[in-house]
Amino acid sequence: MFDELSSIENPHVRSWLEEVATLTKPSNIHICDGSEEEKAALTAQALDAGELEELNKEELPGCVLHRTAQNDVARVEHLTFICTNEEKAAGPNNNWMAPNEAKEKASKIFDGVMEGRTMYVVPYVMGPIGSPYSKVGVEVTDSIYVVLNMRIMTRMGSRALDQLGPDSEDFNRGLHSTADRNPDRRYIMHFPEENTIWSVGSGYGGNVLLSKKCFALRIASWLGRKEGWMAEHMLILGIEDPEGRTTYVAAAFPSACGKTNLAMLIPPESMKGYKIWTVGDDIAWMHIGDDGRLWAINPENGFFGVVPGTNMKTNPNAMITVQKNTIYTNVVLKSDGTVWWESHDDPAPTEGALDWKGNPWTPDMKEEDGSPKKGAQPNSRFTAPASQCPSIAPNWEDPKGVPISAIIFGGRRARVAPLVYEARDWQHGVYIGATMASERTAAQYGKQGEVRRDPMAMLPFCGYNMADYFQYWLDIGKRIPNPPKIFHVNWFRTDEEGKFLWPGFGENLRVLEWIVDRATTPEKTENAQETPIGLVPTTSSINIEGLETTQEQLEDLLKIDPKEWKAEVESQNEFLDKFGEDLPKEIREEQGKLKDAL
């Protein structure tokens, strides 16, 4: 029926694509092979159509700019659904819709949506090619912007169909159309029981690059539980010490807590001989290795990083990464064809610039309420190949992954949480992850200072009931003979005047150094002290040499205030109670132990 699809050998892929094409009725079908010629042709087409703008060829070779619709600039959690047969399987942490209802609703929008348009078929691999831990997906989309992003973010093209093989049914089926970008007809629907995603009405980021949050986290967390592995919202990095030993850690922080910056950290002057190797900045798929350790791969092939706030001080490696072959979304376009954003190293352009909406912009402009008018959208992004990052680990594509010695959870807390502490054991670590929280900053919508629980930084990304997710963490811990040690960090503790006590950025390596020491030399006891919340560094075991941080400030950074912690334990209940009887008893057990100890 669709001649273009006859070249697809795998009958399961072909019949699903026929089904999709019958529904969406495209005028053309293009099966992406992932070649350079294809990239050039699609880019030329998007430039012609005004979907992309070419940037300064000398300064930013191979870079383009895309502007999204003004009502389509971020993930839409309220329009994101988990569509399982049983509502309880989705849990109180997700919006739920019955699969039949979801398909009926979305089918009406998808019906004929690609008439007069091209349907692009994007086969892709998540994880290194040939890795036993990699997974194949196929995304159908009517957006060239999506195809070009997927080309960076995944291993895309014919090699994905080769990896799938001629008869496997084991692939994620992702259907996307930008449709009319009407937020009233926008849905991001996940069908974990069918390994399927339907996304309609958006052309932006996490809503449409279905490989990322939709597949690699929401669907993969479901698959991981079924198949005995873990899909986590974690960066992966290697810390090479002056003796040349590299220790790998995985770290989970809520969105907008500087994960990409930590993943690409540059050691401070005072820590010569250290090197940080970036394996991934957002997602980790972890399996139990034959040696009894937990091994992690980065399923992605690129970075989809937030632009404002990125500069040569906060993240020099990211700045170098985005100098070529990068797609910029919703940033300022300068008259010389280069780009700019708030907190860029260069001064704001004073003439000839266009803001993220494509309107003339100068830095003195004001919004109606008198606040400064931003040139770049606060959630503007770069999409850049991971291979371009100067700190990319030489083994980042090792099919077996890297062995994880420590898992780090982190939040943004002005008080309560110390700079760093260690869980007594895996079960205690699961409790720490399950109750981790951040306070809203002025930059976020909502009440400033309000504490938001975001367990394991997975609240928006866990594809099933989080009570079952906590249970799965507890269960898998028992099956890892040599599990990573679990830690919690808080770079954001402030003093009485609200000033940050810790310098952050590259200096965070001083904390990583303690973590590595604890994780790799468990026989050492002099570097930590038992407290009600876990093991906290002794004040002499965090190196503050050369910092402005005083010994007194370090003591404040490591202080446990029983009064604050008693309030913290109580405040956890509002979140934990949502799971009712389903909450694993071990979480309450650990909470009880903490309460007693306080």
Q: Establish if 304 lies at the interface with ligand O2Y (CB under 6 A).
A: yes
Q: Establish if 300 lies at the interface with Mn ion (CB under 5 A).
A: no
- Strands 196-200 and 171-177: what pairing? parallel
How many positions of this chain bind ligand O2Y (CB under 6 A)? 9
For the chain, give the number of residues.
598
What span, in angstroms and rounded, lies between the C-alpha atoms of 60 and 63? 6
Our CA dihedral for 73, 77, 80, 86, rounded to 10 degrees, sits at 170
State which of residues 282, 355, 422, 586 lies at the interface with Mn ion (CB under 5 A). 282
- Number of helices and strands in the chain (H, E): 16, 31
Exactly one of 63, 214, 257, 389 is catalytic; name it: 257
- 565 contacts which partner out of Mn ion, ligand O2Y, none, CB within 5 to 8 A by kind? none
Provide the terminal-to-terminal Cα distance of the chain, rounded to the nearest Å.
70
How many positions of this chain bind Mn ion (CB under 5 A)? 1
Q: Which two tokens stand for residue 175?
A: 């259907």
Residues 6+ apart with CB under 8 A from 347: none
Residue pair 190/219 in contact (Cβ under 8 Å)? The answer is yes
CA dist list (Å): 526 to 280, 408, 424 = 33, 21, 15
What is the DSSP secondary-structure string of 538-564?
-TTSS--TTSS--HHHHHHHT---HHH
State which of residues 94, 134, 163, 255 lies at the interface with ligand O2Y (CB under 6 A). 255
Q: Establish if 379 lies at the interface with ligand O2Y (CB under 6 A).
A: yes
> Nearest distance from residue 304's CB to Mn ion, in Å?
8
Burial of 486 (0-12, 13-18, 19+ CB in 10 A): buried
- The amino acid present at 197, given as its one-letter code, is I
> Nearest distance from residue 261's CB to ligand O2Y, in Å?
12
Residues pairing with 285 in the sheet: 231, 297
Task: Give Dmax over CA atoms of the chain in angstroms.
Answer: 75
Question: Which of 160-168, 199-207, 235-243, 405-413 is the region at the interface with ligand O2Y (rule: CB under 6 A)?
Answer: 199-207
- 334 contacts which partner out of Mn ion, ligand O2Y, none, CB within 5 to 8 A by kind? none
Question: Which of 137-145, 281-289, 347-355, 478-486 is the region at the interface with Mn ion (rule: CB under 5 A)?
Answer: 281-289
> Nearest distance from residue 230's CB to ligand O2Y, in Å?
17
Q: Is 14 helix (H, G, I), strand (E, B) or coil?
A: helix
CA-wise closest residue to 435 among 462, 463, 458: 458
Closer residue to Mn ion (CB): 64 or 286: 286
> Nearest distance from residue 522's CB to Mn ion, in Å?
31
Q: Which residue is nearest to ligand O2Y (CB)?
A: 205
Closer residue to Mn ion (CB): 457 or 583: 457
Residue pair 378/308 in contact (Cβ under 8 Å)? The answer is yes
- 304 contacts which partner out of ligand O2Y, Mn ion, none, CB within 5 to 8 A by kind? ligand O2Y
Q: Establish if 513 lies at the interface with Mn ion (CB under 5 A).
A: no
What does the per-residue mask of binding to ligand O2Y show for 75-114, with x meaning CB under 6 A? x---------------------------------------
The helix or strand, by DSSP H or E, that contains position 207, with its residue range, turns out to be helix 205-208
DSSP annotation of 595 reads H
Q: Which two tokens stand for residue 232?
A: 């986590």
> Nearest distance from residue 152's CB to Mn ion, in Å?
16
Closer residue to ligand O2Y (CB): 208 or 512: 208
Question: Which of 140-148, 201-209, 327-335, 490-498 is the region at the interface with ligand O2Y (rule: CB under 6 A)?
Answer: 201-209
What is the DSSP secondary-structure string of 351-412?
SSEE-TTSSEE-TT-B-TTSSBPPSS-TT-EEEEEGGG-TTB-TTTT-TT-EEEEEEEEE--
Q: Establish if 205 lies at the interface with ligand O2Y (CB under 6 A).
A: yes
Residues in 325-364 at the binding interface with ligand O2Y, rule: CB under 6 A: none
Residues in 206-235 at the binding interface with ligand O2Y, rule: CB under 6 A: 206
Q: Establish if 261 lies at the interface with ligand O2Y (CB under 6 A).
A: no
Output the CA angle 267-272-274, nearest 5 degrees.
Answer: 60
Closer residue to Mn ion (CB): 119 or 462: 462
Closer residue to ligand O2Y (CB): 202 or 549: 202
State which of residues 74, 320, 348, 414 lies at the interface with ligand O2Y (CB under 6 A). 74
Closer residue to ligand O2Y (CB): 74 or 98: 74
Q: Establish if 411 lies at the interface with ligand O2Y (CB under 6 A).
A: no
- The amino acid present at 87, given as its one-letter code, is E
Closer residue to Mn ion (CB): 160 or 458: 458
Closer residue to ligand O2Y (CB): 329 or 338: 329
- 206 contacts which partner out of ligand O2Y, Mn ion, none, CB within 5 to 8 A by kind? ligand O2Y
- The amino acid present at 549, given as its one-letter code, is T
> Nearest distance from residue 283's CB to Mn ion, in Å?
7
Closer residue to Mn ion (CB): 75 or 374: 75
Closer residue to ligand O2Y (CB): 283 or 416: 283
> Nearest distance from residue 152's CB to ligand O2Y, in Å?
13
Residue pair 191/156 in contact (Cβ under 8 Å)? The answer is no
- 80 contacts which partner out of Mn ion, ligand O2Y, none, CB within 5 to 8 A by kind? none
Residues 6+ apart with CB under 8 A from 348: 340, 362, 363, 375
Residue 216 has a CB neighbour count (10 Å cut-off) of 30
Residues in 110-169 at the binding interface with ligand O2Y, rule: CB under 6 A: none
Q: Establish if 232 lies at the interface with Mn ion (CB under 5 A).
A: no
Active site residue 214: no
Q: Annotate 224-280 with three-state secondary structure.
A: HHHHCCEEECCEEEEEECCCCCEEEEEEECCCCCCHHHHHCCCCCHHHCCCEEEEEE
Question: Which of 141-149, 275-283, 464-472, 586-594 is the region at the interface with Mn ion (rule: CB under 5 A)?
Answer: 275-283
Q: Establish if 282 lies at the interface with ligand O2Y (CB under 6 A).
A: yes
Closer residue to Mn ion (CB): 190 or 293: 190
What span, in angstroms and rounded, lies between the C-alpha atoms of 307 and 380? 6
Residues in 453-492 at the binding interface with ligand O2Y, rule: CB under 6 A: none
Residue numbers of the site for Mn ion (CB under 5 A)?
A: 282
Residues marked as catalytic: 257
Residue numbers of the site for ligand O2Y (CB under 6 A)?
A: 74-75, 204-206, 255, 282, 304, 379
